[in-house]
Amino acid sequence: MLTLPSLRADPHVRLVACAAPRRASRDAFVAEFGGTAHEEVEALAADPAVEAVYVATPHQMHRAHAEAVARAGKHLLVEKPLAIALDDARAIVASAHRAGVHLITGPSHSFDQPVQRACEIIASGRLGRVRMMHALNFTDFLYRPRRPEELRTEEGGGVIFSQAVHQIDMLRLLAQAPARSVYAMTGAWDASRPTEGAYGAMIGFKGGGFANVTYSGYAHYLTDMMQDGIGELGWPVDPGTYGAGRRALASLGRPEDEAALKGDRTYGAVQAPPPASHAEHFGPVIVCCDRADLRLTPKGVEIWGDLERSFLPAPPDPAPRSPVLRALYRAIRRNEPPDQAAGWGLSSLEICHAILASARSGMPISLDHR
């Protein structure tokens, strides 16, 4: 649903078919876009009108669906995380390689316009090397409506697989160097939501750079206040909505009511959000280079140099997630895949698992997929 406005507006894609188990979703798709609505992913993958498939199913279904799409010779845009288990992620990468199709993991916030602008500045070399990064985000993630598996870590629940991957993707892209090690601690502090709701991690990169990353989804302080009061999707935050997630959960009478509430937010049940007034973001990010520090904001990139400050705007796009759609287009039409292609999602997933492993062991974890 969050990517839908971009799919509607971006000229690089045209929706011609879908697959969904819910009849209401299929009927809504045909009513809006025409084309063909399939009940099974295999039928969608076999559809001759389809060139690429956006796999936006729950995490645990990614492997089966991605492999079916790759076997049919279709290119892949797979929602983050690429999978839950590393073996499943390896299998997805291998299936795309065997089929000779492009695989991109996303959209993640590494495609946000301010992140892309900051990467351009860093890649120019004029600020020297990236030495240190800080990423911080406090949200209400754990108190939004969840299906049961979204509250079980072993099934991909909690903040690590769904939220840490955003910060990991951003920091890997900004570092412009492979990640080498992770040292982390996690928090699971609400017995009624028995999964990780917070973490803090130090990620080391080749060449000596490092990143400090913190996240809390416990719906208290919100770091949107550190982003000029602009929320993750680019809209100013309404102070009157504070605590709405917790209040909504408290009003539910049965556990199954929560899953039903989440189901009410799917395609065909609600309207997608309109274009936002600012770019999307994932909390404050500061990048320290040899000759300047960069602060990423929903409005652009602040450059704090040796002797002066400057600002490079990153205006919102009517299709806010168009960078990932353009990346898919360039990969298919020009054979120019982005950094987030091929095994990128596997490497980010390994860091997610390393956060959990380090928190369990109390020791730093070395990384293999760099």
Q: What is the pLDDT along the chain (370 residues), one digit of tens a residue?
A: 889 989 999 999 999 999 999 999 999 999 999 999 999 999 999 999 999 999 999 999 999 999 999 999 999 999 999 999 999 999 999 999 999 999 999 999 999 999 999 999 999 999 999 999 999 999 999 999 998 999 999 999 999 999 999 999 999 999 999 999 999 999 999 999 999 999 999 999 999 999 999 999 999 999 999 999 999 999 999 999 999 999 999 998 787 888 888 776 777 777 777 778 999 999 999 999 999 999 999 999 999 999 999 999 998 888 889 999 999 999 999 999 999 999 999 999 999 999 999 999 999 999 987 6
Ordered by where they begin, the domains of the chain are: 4-108+320-341 (3.40.50.720), 110-315+350-366 (3.30.360.10)
Burial of 221 (0-12, 13-18, 19+ CB in 10 A): exposed
CA-to-CA separations, 54 to 19, 100, 166, 327, in angstroms, rounded? 10, 17, 18, 13
What is the spatial distance between Cα 366 and Cα 244, in angstroms, rounded to a whole number? Answer: 40
pLDDT at 274: 76
Q: At a CB cut-off of 8 Å and minimum separation 6, what does 192 contact?
A: none
pLDDT at 273: 73
Paired tokens of 267: 């395609």
Name residue, tokens 């769904």.
162
